[in-house]
Structure 1
């Protein structure tokens, strides 16, 4: 992986997107390797477990110092202009922690990424144990 960039989490947008402050300023970051249920916007209903996913990430990351790492297998930014980064807190992958807690699922966009096997293992364990959305959301069929 590339060298880590220190950042502080200044907002949690949803279960897989955060706003950070680095020495270069503020940026929106889409966390690599996880997808979470969508929060309803503009009065629309959200997906099952969307609020829980956001709240988990908020408790895990808000106000904390994290390390951001780009991944040579992935683009630098996504179609929405968000930085694509691995996010580590206290030396642990925020994505793997969230997936293990059942707040989201492993997500591969286009190409495999560094650490993908850890994400897949966390999802398999959460699914087998019916943790989080795997036990709460009847519509989850992944």
Structure 2
């Protein structure tokens, strides 16, 4: 592993100690590592660094098994795709749409907000109505 990759792993490791959700950390890693100089099929960015599941699990401070589940879920939702064992991230996801998808995945909001309405406001209202799981 080269020094740049080690530094990236360390930097993300320290940031991840804040205990944000692992799915959020995973997508943030892919957004940061996206190669924005080249657009594939008009809507996908390749990754500058191709990580193994083990590398990703170390970076986001999780287990390898925990990484594979959100990877598959993100593929189903069209956030990322895997092409020839390479991960690509969707260009057309706006930050608020990404937030919308993440909140729905975690069960804090649902997809019942109308398309033309203020989606962020709808998400905030719905996330307050849903009970948080007891820890």
Normalising by the smaller structure, the TM-score range is 0.3 to 0.5
Q: Greater helix share, 1 or 2?
A: 2
Q: Greater strand share, 1 or 2?
A: 1
Q: Which has the higher contact order (CA 8 A, sep 6+)?
A: 1
**Larger-Rg structure:** 2
